[in-house]
Protein backbone atom coordinates (compact mmCIF):
# COMPACT_ATOMS: atom_id res chain seq x y z
CA UNK A 1 0.00 0.00 0.00
CA UNK A 2 1.39 3.42 -0.97
CA UNK A 3 2.30 5.71 1.90
CA UNK A 4 1.15 9.31 1.50
CA UNK A 5 2.50 12.50 3.06
CA UNK A 6 3.16 16.06 1.92
CA UNK A 7 6.54 16.90 3.45
CA UNK A 8 9.54 15.12 4.92
CA UNK A 9 11.17 17.46 7.41
CA UNK A 10 14.66 16.67 8.67
CA UNK A 11 15.43 18.10 12.09
CA UNK A 12 18.73 18.33 13.99
CA UNK A 13 18.57 18.46 17.77
CA UNK A 14 20.62 18.20 20.94
CA UNK A 15 19.91 16.13 24.05
CA UNK A 16 21.32 17.26 27.39
CA UNK A 17 22.08 15.97 30.85
CA UNK A 18 18.43 16.02 31.99
CA UNK A 19 17.35 13.42 29.41
CA UNK A 20 20.46 11.27 29.03
CA UNK A 21 18.92 8.40 31.02
CA UNK A 22 15.75 8.35 28.91
CA UNK A 23 15.68 5.18 26.79
CA UNK A 24 15.04 5.20 23.05
CA UNK A 25 11.42 4.06 23.24
CA UNK A 26 10.58 6.67 25.87
CA UNK A 27 12.39 9.30 23.80
CA UNK A 28 10.29 8.29 20.79
CA UNK A 29 7.11 8.70 22.87
CA UNK A 30 8.28 12.10 24.13
CA UNK A 31 8.65 13.28 20.55
CA UNK A 32 5.21 11.95 19.61
CA UNK A 33 3.63 13.81 22.53
CA UNK A 34 5.50 17.01 21.66
CA UNK A 35 4.42 16.82 18.02
CA UNK A 36 0.81 16.44 19.12
CA UNK A 37 1.12 19.37 21.55
CA UNK A 38 2.64 21.46 18.77
CA UNK A 39 -0.31 20.55 16.52
CA UNK A 40 2.04 19.55 13.75
CA UNK A 41 0.28 17.58 10.97
CA UNK A 42 2.13 14.32 11.61
CA UNK A 43 1.58 11.61 8.98
CA UNK A 44 0.79 8.02 9.94
CA UNK A 45 1.39 4.73 8.20
CA UNK A 46 -1.56 3.04 6.57
CA UNK A 47 -3.05 -0.32 7.53
CA UNK A 48 -4.75 -1.86 10.54
CA UNK A 49 -2.28 -0.43 13.10
CA UNK A 50 -1.23 3.07 11.95
CA UNK A 51 2.10 4.26 13.36
CA UNK A 52 3.45 7.82 13.44
CA UNK A 53 5.92 8.50 10.66
CA UNK A 54 8.89 9.54 12.75
CA UNK A 55 12.39 8.20 12.08
CA UNK A 56 15.54 8.65 14.17
CA UNK A 57 18.91 8.21 12.50
CA UNK A 58 20.41 6.19 15.37
CA UNK A 59 19.32 5.44 18.92
CA UNK A 60 21.44 7.33 21.45
CA UNK A 61 22.65 4.91 24.14
CA UNK A 62 21.37 5.53 27.66
CA UNK A 63 23.76 7.76 29.60
CA UNK A 64 25.03 9.62 26.51
CA UNK A 65 24.29 13.21 25.52
CA UNK A 66 24.07 14.30 21.89
CA UNK A 67 24.92 17.53 20.10
CA UNK A 68 23.69 16.82 16.56
CA UNK A 69 21.07 14.07 16.61
CA UNK A 70 18.91 13.72 13.50
CA UNK A 71 15.29 12.74 12.89
CA UNK A 72 12.86 12.79 9.96
CA UNK A 73 9.29 13.88 10.63
CA UNK A 74 6.73 13.16 7.91
CA UNK A 75 3.93 15.71 7.65
CA UNK A 76 0.53 15.70 5.94
CA UNK A 77 0.82 19.43 5.18
CA UNK A 78 3.79 21.56 4.20
CA UNK A 79 5.07 24.00 6.80
CA UNK A 80 7.66 26.80 6.61
CA UNK A 81 10.82 25.85 8.51
CA UNK A 82 10.66 28.79 10.98
CA UNK A 83 7.09 27.92 11.98
CA UNK A 84 7.93 24.23 12.26
CA UNK A 85 10.91 24.93 14.53
CA UNK A 86 9.03 27.43 16.67
CA UNK A 87 6.10 25.10 17.33
CA UNK A 88 8.34 22.11 17.96
CA UNK A 89 10.70 24.03 20.29
CA UNK A 90 7.80 25.23 22.43
CA UNK A 91 6.41 21.69 22.80
CA UNK A 92 9.52 19.57 23.43
CA UNK A 93 10.50 18.86 27.06
CA UNK A 94 13.55 20.49 28.70
CA UNK A 95 16.77 18.84 27.61
CA UNK A 96 15.74 18.35 23.97
CA UNK A 97 16.47 21.34 21.76
CA UNK A 98 15.90 21.44 17.99
CA UNK A 99 18.69 23.43 16.34
CA UNK A 100 17.90 23.29 12.60
CA UNK A 101 15.48 21.80 10.10
CA UNK A 102 15.01 21.53 6.36
CA UNK A 103 12.64 19.75 3.97
CA UNK A 104 14.36 16.83 2.23
CA UNK A 105 13.52 14.74 -0.80
CA UNK A 106 10.80 12.13 -0.53
CA UNK A 107 13.05 9.79 -2.51
CA UNK A 108 15.84 9.59 0.05
CA UNK A 109 16.35 6.22 1.77
CA UNK A 110 15.65 5.85 5.47
CA UNK A 111 17.94 7.69 7.85
CA UNK A 112 18.92 4.50 9.65
CA UNK A 113 20.21 2.89 6.45
CA UNK A 114 22.56 5.82 5.79
CA UNK A 115 24.43 5.96 9.12
CA UNK A 116 28.01 4.69 8.86
CA UNK A 117 29.47 5.91 12.14
CA UNK A 118 29.72 8.69 14.69
CA UNK A 119 32.16 11.07 16.36
CA UNK A 120 32.25 11.17 20.18
CA UNK A 121 33.98 13.04 22.95
CA UNK A 122 34.67 11.00 26.09
CA UNK A 123 35.69 12.28 29.52
CA UNK A 124 36.69 9.63 32.04
CA UNK A 125 38.09 9.73 35.58
CA UNK A 126 40.67 6.93 35.69
CA UNK A 127 43.24 8.06 38.26
CA UNK A 128 46.02 7.51 35.68
CA UNK A 129 48.57 10.10 34.65
CA UNK A 130 48.09 11.74 31.28
CA UNK A 131 51.05 9.88 29.77
CA UNK A 132 49.82 6.52 31.06
CA UNK A 133 46.32 7.09 29.74
CA UNK A 134 47.52 8.28 26.32
CA UNK A 135 49.82 5.25 26.14
CA UNK A 136 46.91 2.92 26.79
CA UNK A 137 44.96 4.50 23.91
CA UNK A 138 47.95 4.10 21.60
CA UNK A 139 48.41 0.47 22.61
CA UNK A 140 44.79 -0.27 21.76
CA UNK A 141 45.13 1.28 18.29
CA UNK A 142 48.24 -0.84 17.66
CA UNK A 143 46.39 -4.09 18.35
CA UNK A 144 45.35 -6.27 15.38
CA UNK A 145 42.04 -7.16 17.03
CA UNK A 146 39.98 -6.81 20.21
CA UNK A 147 37.42 -9.58 20.45
CA UNK A 148 34.54 -9.08 22.85
CA UNK A 149 31.08 -10.54 23.46
CA UNK A 150 27.83 -8.62 23.20
CA UNK A 151 24.74 -9.86 25.00
CA UNK A 152 21.32 -9.59 23.39
CA UNK A 153 18.60 -11.12 25.52
CA UNK A 154 19.81 -14.54 26.63
CA UNK A 155 22.31 -14.90 23.79
CA UNK A 156 25.84 -13.59 23.36
CA UNK A 157 27.70 -13.08 20.11
CA UNK A 158 31.40 -12.34 19.54
CA UNK A 159 32.54 -9.25 17.67
CA UNK A 160 35.86 -7.56 16.96
CA UNK A 161 35.87 -4.06 18.48
CA UNK A 162 39.20 -2.97 16.98
CA UNK A 163 38.08 -2.31 13.35
CA UNK A 164 35.06 -0.42 14.68
CA UNK A 165 37.37 2.20 16.21
CA UNK A 166 38.50 4.33 13.29
CA UNK A 167 40.34 7.09 15.16
CA UNK A 168 41.40 7.98 18.70
CA UNK A 169 42.83 11.34 19.76
CA UNK A 170 43.83 12.22 23.32
CA UNK A 171 42.85 15.81 24.17
CA UNK A 172 44.34 16.18 27.64
CA UNK A 173 42.48 16.68 30.90
CA UNK A 174 39.34 18.55 31.89
CA UNK A 175 37.79 19.26 35.29
CA UNK A 176 36.15 15.82 34.94
CA UNK A 177 39.14 13.70 33.92
CA UNK A 178 40.97 12.55 30.79
CA UNK A 179 39.36 13.61 27.53
CA UNK A 180 39.63 11.96 24.13
CA UNK A 181 37.81 12.01 20.81
CA UNK A 182 36.87 8.77 19.09
CA UNK A 183 35.34 7.97 15.71
CA UNK A 184 33.45 4.68 15.61
CA UNK A 185 31.99 2.75 12.71
CA UNK A 186 28.41 1.54 12.52
CA UNK A 187 27.83 -1.75 10.73
CA UNK A 188 24.85 -4.11 10.70
CA UNK A 189 25.10 -6.11 13.91
CA UNK A 190 28.42 -4.54 14.93
CA UNK A 191 28.14 -0.88 15.85
CA UNK A 192 31.04 0.49 17.88
CA UNK A 193 30.29 2.17 21.22
CA UNK A 194 32.63 4.27 23.40
CA UNK A 195 31.47 2.59 26.62
CA UNK A 196 32.58 -0.78 25.22
CA UNK A 197 35.93 0.77 24.30
CA UNK A 198 36.32 1.99 27.90
CA UNK A 199 35.55 -1.52 29.15
CA UNK A 200 38.18 -2.97 26.82
CA UNK A 201 40.70 -0.43 28.12
CA UNK A 202 40.00 -1.57 31.68
CA UNK A 203 37.81 1.37 32.74
CA UNK A 204 34.41 -0.32 32.76
CA UNK A 205 33.41 1.13 36.14
CA UNK A 206 35.18 4.49 35.89
CA UNK A 207 32.96 7.61 36.02
CA UNK A 208 32.55 9.04 32.54
CA UNK A 209 30.73 11.55 30.37
CA UNK A 210 30.12 10.65 26.75
CA UNK A 211 28.79 13.03 24.11
CA UNK A 212 27.93 12.09 20.55
CA UNK A 213 29.13 15.08 18.54
CA UNK A 214 27.94 14.14 15.05
CA UNK A 215 26.65 11.20 13.07
CA UNK A 216 28.42 10.12 9.88
CA UNK A 217 26.29 9.38 6.83
CA UNK A 218 26.92 7.79 3.45
CA UNK A 219 28.01 10.29 0.84
CA UNK A 220 25.10 11.23 -1.46
Per residue in 156-168, pLDDT (tens digit) is 889 999 999 999 9
Q: What's 7-108's CATH class?
A: alpha beta
pLDDT in tens, 182-210: 999 998 777 889 999 999 999 999 999 99
* E-state strands within the chain: 7-15, 54-56, 64-75, 96-104, 115-124, 147-152, 155-160, 165-173, 178-185, 208-217
CATH 1.20.81 fits 114-217, yes or no: no
Residue 35: pLDDT over 90: yes
Domain boundaries of the chain, sorted by first residue:
7-108, 114-217
Q: pLDDT above 70 covers what percent of the chain?
A: 98
Over residues 170-188, the mean pLDDT reads: 94
Please say if the pLDDT value at position 74 is more than 90.
yes
Given a cut of 90, is residue 2 above it in pLDDT? no
Amino acid sequence: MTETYAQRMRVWFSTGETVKYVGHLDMHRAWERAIRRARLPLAYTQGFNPQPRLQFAAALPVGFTGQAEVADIFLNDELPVPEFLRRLSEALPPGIRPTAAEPVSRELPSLQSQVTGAHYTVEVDTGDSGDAFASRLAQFMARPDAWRERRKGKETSPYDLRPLVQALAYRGTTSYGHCFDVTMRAEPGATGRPDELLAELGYESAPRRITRLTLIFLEP
